[in-house]
Amino acid sequence: MNTVVLLTSTKLGNVLDQDLEFGTTMLANFLHALESQKDKVQTIICYTEGVKSALKGTNTALSLQLLQDSGVRVLLCGSCLKHYDISSEDVVGQVSNMAEISQTLLDADKVVRP
């Protein structure tokens, strides 16, 4: 099954402002848990604020790197990186565009948005 995970935030779920660090930790835990799942994710897409999850040096980027090293494609919205003034050298994953991102989503059997 072609499963795609769509990250649009730096945290898992909705959390209060005082719980942002907890939400970020939970997203890293979620990504880390994907590594050991029997059914492997094929692609992780990061767009809008989700591209910040790929910033090198963060717990979420470490998990994304491990997933990428295991064969998971990590696609990052190039326009989003530009909007947040993030260099492609400062992130884990492959800079992509909305045409590839939208086609990847359309080709997916399942899209998970944590």
Q: Which CATH class is domain 3-112?
A: alpha beta
Find all residues with CB under 8 Å of 55, minimum gap 6, and list them.
61, 86, 90, 91
Confidence bin at 62 (pLDDT 50/70/90): very high
Please tell me the distance from the alpha carbon of residue 2 to that of residue 105, in angstroms, as a whole number. Answer: 10
Assign residue 11 a region (left: φ > 0; alpha: ψ between -120 and 50; beta: otherwise): beta
Domain boundaries, the chain: 3-112
**Token pair listed for 49:** 């604020």
Please tell me the distance from the alpha carbon of residue 73 to that of residue 44, in angstroms, as a whole number. Answer: 6
Confidence bin at 70 (pLDDT 50/70/90): very high
Confidence bin at 94 (pLDDT 50/70/90): very high
This prediction's pTM:
0.94
Give residue-wise pLDDT tens across range 18-60.
999 999 999 999 999 998 898 899 999 999 999 999 999 999 9
